[in-house]
Amino acid sequence: AWCEERGRARGTRVRVEPAGRLARTRITKAQVAYPQILAAFGAVEEWIAAQGLTVTGPCREVYFADWEAAGPQDPVCDVAFPVR
């Protein structure tokens, strides 16, 4: 309902996840484009390994900004992995 009310239902879903520990990096609108976004996933995975952490679930992209209003250098997304 939240997506539909805001005209953002284009194949996306909003969900509430339980609290937990995330390893993440913040990226700009320009960095979201493929294949640039792969560097963000790789960087987080390398950091997790270096810290001796374990991934406990699927990775995710968390978009938090107004995509239409954001410029190429504006932060718009976190690439995140749940860890322990």
Question: How many Å apart are CA 47 and CA 55, to the nearest integer?
Answer: 11
What is the pLDDT at residue 9?
Answer: 64
Q: What is the pLDDT of residues 20-65, one digit of tens each?
A: 999 999 999 999 999 999 999 999 999 999 999 999 999 999 999 9
What is the pLDDT at residue 5?
Answer: 74
Question: How many Å apart are CA 48 and CA 23, to the nearest integer?
Answer: 7
Mean pLDDT throughout 53-78?
A: 97
Examine the pLDDT at 1 and tell me if it is beyond 60.
no
Which two structure tokens, joined as six digits, stand for 16?
A: 């509430």
Paired sense of beta strands 60-63 and 75-82, if any:
antiparallel
What is the pLDDT at residue 14?
Answer: 76
